[in-house]
Structure 1
Amino acid sequence: MKVAAWNVRGFNNPIKHSEVMNYIYENKLDLIALLETRVKQPNRRQSIFLRNILMEAQVISCLVRHFETNTDISLSFVYGSNDAAQREDLWDSLRSVASPNPWMVLADFNVVRCPEEKLSSNPPLLHEMLEFNSCVFYCHLDDISSSGCDMTWTNKQEPGARVWSKLDRVLVNASWISSFLGSHAIFHEAGISDHSPILVFISEDKKILKRFSFLNSWVEHPDFLTTVQNAWFSPIAGSPMFCLFKKLKFVKHALSKLHNKAFSNVSIRRAKLKNIQLSDSGSKYFFDKISERQHHQVLGAICDHTGVMQQGLDNVGVAFQGYYQSLLGEAKYVAGLDTVLIPSGPKISEEDTVGLIQAVSIEEIRDAVFSMDSNSSHGVDGFSAGFFKSAWSIVGGDLCRAVQSFFRTGKMAKQAN
């Protein structure tokens, strides 16, 4: 499902009709709210397809049935007044309709949340930002994951008098994040207006796979080496490279179990002491913050290498794969070396030739591993150099055989890419 909002600054002009229709068609929108249309009475058409909850001068709230998940979602489309005193009515209205259902509040608030959201010689007023944020906190709302234009409005004046602000935004509550974790907003170029149109991808992706990451603190646990050894010496048949990555996979599961058994309580206690006191309301706040953090780590939409917007975690993954395939190309035949020209050019000595083609020794591999910082960045498998150094007596033999196999055959397992 896709929802959009756009302050079009007047909608009687047929040129704007075409621009908006193109935007709806190109993005395949299910629902769009047009703000500040100023449509004359003869041009109005009525089409009732939503259950209206609240209709006021600065906000229209409605209930929508999301058929894909059979979920009722609340949407509030905002057009905040330019007058701070009148915006107090808007804040009261939002507080009155704050919903436990998945709730999204979007469009033009006509005020920023922090000074960094306005580029101008005149900074935003502190009391206006405080009033806005007070309403946001009261309603348990937070900005949705987004991309595109950071500043969503400009006065389009000459460079010396130009003002940029983030007046348009999308806010959601914790229930929304729980139901539509992969949701993502895109702020497009303003086009015919001085405001950016907002396109929201409402994705039902809920399960985010957590990437394994080796913790050096596990090394200090008395059962660390025993856990690695029991997982490592499982019988596996295949090439040295295949066996290495298969055993690393077994170790991942074993160390994850060790972490859950011996370390998870410590992490939970630290988090609770830092954020909250133990209570029902505090626990809810704690888990809402976890969901909020997960949401902002999700990339819910992206343009693929052909310029088409892809939505949803699976499609985003395919877009990344397609980009690098187009960048790196595919395997194809390459003509061999010209053996006639090679002898006529510079050549290395026979001694250097022997050094280049001789087999890589176990000592060289070990020295390379132990020269690395134990706290260096993890590899694609989630293991750091600290793991291999601390468990070398167990894993060193298989690692050396895999590396030697690569230099001998020139073949790399796909798990290493």
Structure 2
Amino acid sequence: MSLISWNCRGLGNPQAVRDLCQLTKEKKPIILFLMETKCRKNKMEVVRVKLGFEGMFVVDPIGRSGGLALLWKDISLLEIQNFSRRHINAIVKEEGTGYSWKLTGFYGHPEWQKRHESWALLRHLRSYNPIPWLCVGDFNEITSQSEKYGEVPRKESQMAQFREALEDCHLGDLGFTGSKFTWTNCRQDGGFIKERLDRAAANSGWYHKFKRVDVKILAARTSDHKPIFITYSEKEGEFMQVKQRTKFEAKWLLDEGATDVLKRAWCDDTLGGTSVQVVQQKLEACKGALKRWNWQKHGNFEKAVKEKTQQLEIMQRNETVMDG
């Protein structure tokens, strides 16, 4: 099973709808959560028909801002529980098993001064129907400085409030593959910023229910936010993919380039906070810098080896056919 969460930034133009149709055609999600639709229910009904979904619940925008929509393939799959301008809460019923879990499509307040209201809402949702829980969406906040690139660092108090809300709700980040940053301001000058604002998080009940989970950050289409594509399965014996870990490689010690990368990352003077926070940020910066350096240096080589291996396999199959 799979679902997509996307801050689409408006479905008022035909190109945005065409891109959404292409996205759902390629990935075939059974559940689709959309934020900032800027469309009322009658307009979203047209979109639902084009996308081929049976069920839909819409929170209308106010004026020209906001708007949420939750769509699902099978009308009996999902039951709406409650909603607000910032969320849609639903119960997903697994076909044939009678197993149910809670899905929350969440949209954090765009104004940082009011984001505490979003964290209060999240805590309230935790107390409602305490069953296995998956929460996805655009939280409009990051958990650490490593989730932001450009401009001044985020205030530690803002990030701490978000982390505390996730901890209080027993929600753990499910990680990702693909681009780390899900939003950009699209500027071309020194004010360029990109951040990881969109994510998927789940409690232990949901985490242990599904034996395989994959969260992919997809390419952006007519929006400054990238879609999140989540696949999950109950099949035994399949590895559950969580947040990617960066493992130190002994071979890096033999390369002077790695030392230079670490020095530059450690000496970054754009970080702020207490001495302990600065050290934590420096360690995160070193980890990210090493990961990017390793990919740039060895990633293309590994890809080339994979491609050559595939070519060799094709040649071997052709030779087998000719010999036969």
TM-score, structure 2 normalization: 0.63
Asked if 1:102 is matched to 2:132, the reply is yes
Identity %: 27
Q: Which residue of structure 1 aligns with residue 148 of structure 2?
A: 118
Q: Which residue of structure 1 aligns with residue 5 of structure 2?
A: 5
Q: Which residue of structure 2 aligns with residue 86 of structure 1?
A: 114
- Which one of the candidate residues 134, 137, 149 is aligned to 2:179? 149
Task: Find the aligned partners of 1:327 and 1:201 in 2 and give their Cα distance.
Answer: 31
CA RMSD of aligned residues (A): 2.4
- How big is each residue's C-alpha offset from its partner over 1:191-249, in whole Å with a ceiling of 9 and x where there is no partner? 2100000110011134358xxxxxxxxxxxxxxxxxxxxxxxxxxxxxxxxxxxxxxxx
What residue ranges of structure 2 are gaps of 5+ in the alignment? Answer: 46-54, 58-74, 240-305
Say whether the 8 Å CA contact 2:91–2:103 is kept in structure 1.
Answer: yes
Say whether the 8 Å CA contact 2:16–2:221 is kept in structure 1.
Answer: no
Q: Which residue of structure 1 aligns with residue 231 of structure 2?
A: 201
- Partner of 2:233, secondary structure, is coil
Distance change >3 Å, CA 107–CA 118, structure 1 → 2: same
Letter in 1 for 2:3: V
Task: Find the aligned partners of 1:206 and 1:174 in 2 and give their Cα distance.
Answer: 17
List aligned pairs for 1:21-60, cutoff 5 A: 21-40=21-40, 42-45=42-45, 47=56, 49=75, 50-60=78-88
Task: Find the aligned partners of 1:13 and 1:129 in 2 and give their Cα distance.
Answer: 35
Say whether the 8 Å CA contact 2:106–2:138 is kept in structure 1.
Answer: yes
List aligned pairs for 1:12-411, cutoff 5 A: 12-40=12-40, 42-45=42-45, 47=56, 49=75, 50-67=78-95, 69-98=97-126, 100-207=130-237, 324-329=309-314, 330=316, 332=319
- Partner of 2:190, secondary structure, is helix
Which is richer in strand? 2
- Partner of 2:136, secondary structure, is strand
Task: Find the aligned partners of 1:82 and 1:71 in 2 and give their Cα distance.
Answer: 35
Which is richer in helix? 1
Say whether the 8 Å CA contact 1:2–1:31 is kept in structure 2.
Answer: yes
Letter in 1 for 2:82: L
Deviation at 1:86, TM superposition (A): 2.3
Distance change >3 Å, CA 2–CA 41, structure 1 → 2: closer
Q: Compare 77-86 and 15-24 and name the one that shifted more.
A: 77-86
Letter in 2 for 1:125: K
Distance change >3 Å, CA 72–CA 116, structure 1 → 2: same
- Partner of 1:20, secondary structure, is helix
Task: Find the aligned partners of 1:31 and 1:8 in 2 and give their Cα distance.
Answer: 15
- How big is each residue's C-alpha offset from its partner over 1:70-126, in whole Å with a ceiling of 9 and x where there is no partner? 321211111111223422222122212225422111110001000110001211111
Letter in 1 for 2:171: L
- Partner of 1:81, secondary structure, is coil
Compare CA radii of gyration and give the structure with the larger one.
1
Distance change >3 Å, CA 206–CA 69, structure 1 → 2: farther
Distance change >3 Å, CA 120–CA 76, structure 1 → 2: same
What residue ranges of structure 1 are gaps of 5+ in the alignment? Answer: 210-320, 334-417
Distance change >3 Å, CA 30–CA 161, structure 1 → 2: same
- Partner of 1:16, secondary structure, is helix
Deviation at 1:68, TM superposition (A): 5.8
Task: Find the aligned partners of 1:71 and 1:78 in 2 and give their Cα distance.
Answer: 23
Letter in 1 for 2:176: S
What is the number of residues matched between the two proteins?
222
Task: Find the aligned partners of 2:134 and 2:308 in 1 and give their Cα distance.
Answer: 32
Task: Find the aligned partners of 1:323 and 1:197 in 2 and give their Cα distance.
Answer: 32
